[in-house]
Amino acid sequence: MTSELNIHTHGPVGHISLNRPKALHALTQGMCEGIGEALLGWREDDAVSAVILDHAEGRGFCAGGDVQLVRNSALEDGGAAGRAFFHAEYRTNHLMFTYPKPIVAFMDGITMGGGVGISQPCRYRVATENTMFAMPEGNIGLFPDVGAGWYLPRLPGAVGKFLALTAARLDGAECLWAGLATHYLASDTLAEAKARMVAGEEPGAVLDALSAEPPEARLAGNAEKIDLLFGSDKLEGIIATLEGDDSEWAAKELKAVRAKCPATSKVALRQFAANADCETFADNMVMEYRIASRMMLRHDFIEGVRAVLIDKDNAPKWVPIEPEGVTETMLDEIFAAEPQGGEWTPFPQLA
């Protein structure tokens, strides 16, 4: 078992703590596999009735996945290691989504990308005053994955599109309002919540009892504007609508949308539409794996990681640079089925 995870059982509770503090607990392939192995072991264990998922020392909860590994793979081995990472990560996401026992994710800190992927499938998702939630893949030329194609279209109104196209950061109160969190607790009550679960109390009852009144959710105040300005299913339509609004808020969001990778944004919008044809979460993960296998090899991802994480100049040069350059033919190729034997599959026990 990787040292990047702390895995224990306490009475009736399985406990997984992410333990990669210098990387804000970003997920490696070994961590994804370790989480999956633990959950599979507890799945049929009658002594374990619930699972706690949190982070160990330092800031957390989980800042994403190991995108530098994926970039290196794209440059060095044709994406083989990157595909292996995504396959393992998505298997764990799917296992969590279908898990028969309650998993409680404590999103007490940064929850982005891969951190969203291991928190959103959980039955209970706890936000605090420290929560910072985002799907920032448009900044690095990837796409909103780890199940975002399933979760984001199901958020109120056009909030999902807004999050995907702007990489907006939500606080804990906003996560609760949007349904990304099921409970809001003060961070100084989390230890008590976990102790009560370990003592055998039902997790939902514990969280209900300790829930705090959150601050006003700023997102709720902007929901009407988001629905109006992000209502189109076309990137060009959303940009035109934002350009036609002379408010300061619209100008700020227009700048955010324009800064993101156009291919990422168009992929996200098609991904949301295509999810309507996904009967199960597994179907969605098949789709996302196809997209990931192609997006990781594109110039935009290699350039985006360079600009944001390596050189840190935050000046990526997207290709194409304008939305109009991202054609339907390009999108068809990104979403096409993998060759025989190359598709994503769930854990054999769940197939």
Q: At what angle do helices 159-166 and 218-229 cross, to 10 degrees?
A: 90
Given this model, what pLDDT does residue 1 score? 46
The token duo for 11 is: 């009475």
Given this model, what pLDDT does residue 57 score? 82
Type of residue numbered 156? P
Marked catalytic residue, from 14, 34, 60, 65: 65
Smallest CA-to-CA distance from 31 within 85, 100, 107 is with 85
Question: In angstroms, rounded to a whole number, what is the distance separating the alpha carbons of residues 306 and 310?
Answer: 5
- Based on the residue annotation, tell me whether 34 is a catalytic residue of this protein: no
DSSP labels for 63-124?
--B-HHHHHHHHHHSTTHHHHHHHHHHHHHHHHHHT-SS-EEEEE-SEEETHHHHHHTTSSE
- Based on the residue annotation, tell me whether 137 is a catalytic residue of this protein: yes
- Based on the residue annotation, tell me whether 114 is a catalytic residue of this protein: yes
Marked catalytic residue, from 137, 174, 253, 300: 137
Marked catalytic residue, from 89, 108, 145, 174: 145
Q: What is the CATH number of the domain that holds 57?
A: 3.90.226.10
Rg, the chain, Cα only = 20
Q: How many structural domains does the chain have?
A: 1
Smallest CA-to-CA distance from 63 within 118, 141, 127, 5 is with 118
Q: pLDDT by residue for the chain (351 residues), tens digit each?
A: 469 999 999 999 999 999 999 999 999 999 999 999 999 999 999 999 999 999 998 788 999 999 999 999 999 999 999 999 999 999 999 999 999 999 999 999 999 999 999 999 999 999 999 999 999 999 999 999 999 999 999 999 999 999 999 999 999 999 999 999 999 999 999 999 999 999 999 999 999 999 999 999 999 999 999 999 999 999 999 999 999 999 999 999 999 999 999 999 999 999 999 999 999 999 999 999 999 999 999 999 999 999 999 999 999 999 999 999 999 999 999 999 998 889 999 999 998
Question: In angstroms, rounded to a whole number, what is the distance separating the alpha carbons of residues 293 and 271?
Answer: 14
Given this model, what pLDDT does residue 292 score? 98
Buried b (16+ CB within 10 A) or exposed e, 313-341: eeebebeeeebeebeeebbeebeeeeeee
The pTM score is 0.97
The token duo for 229 is: 């300005």
Instruction: Provide the Cα torsion 23, 26, 32, 37; round to 10°.
Output: 60
- Based on the residue annotation, tell me whether 60 is a catalytic residue of this protein: no
Query: Please, are residues 140 and 67 in contact by the beta-carbon 8 Å criterion?
Result: yes
Write down the residue that tokens 């990104």 correspond to: 334
Q: How far apart are the first and last CA of the chain?
A: 24
Would you call 270 exposed, middle or buried from its count of C-beta atoms within 10 A (0-12, 13-18, 19+)?
A: buried
Biggest distance spanned by C-alpha atoms of the chain: 60
The token duo for 201 is: 């109390």
Marked catalytic residue, from 34, 64, 114, 149: 114
Given this model, what pLDDT does residue 59 score? 82
Given this model, what pLDDT does residue 340 score? 84
What value, to the nearest 5°, has the Cα angle with vertex 232 and ends 276 and 93? 40
Supply the range of the domain harboring residue 107.
5-350
Given this model, what pLDDT does residue 179 score? 98
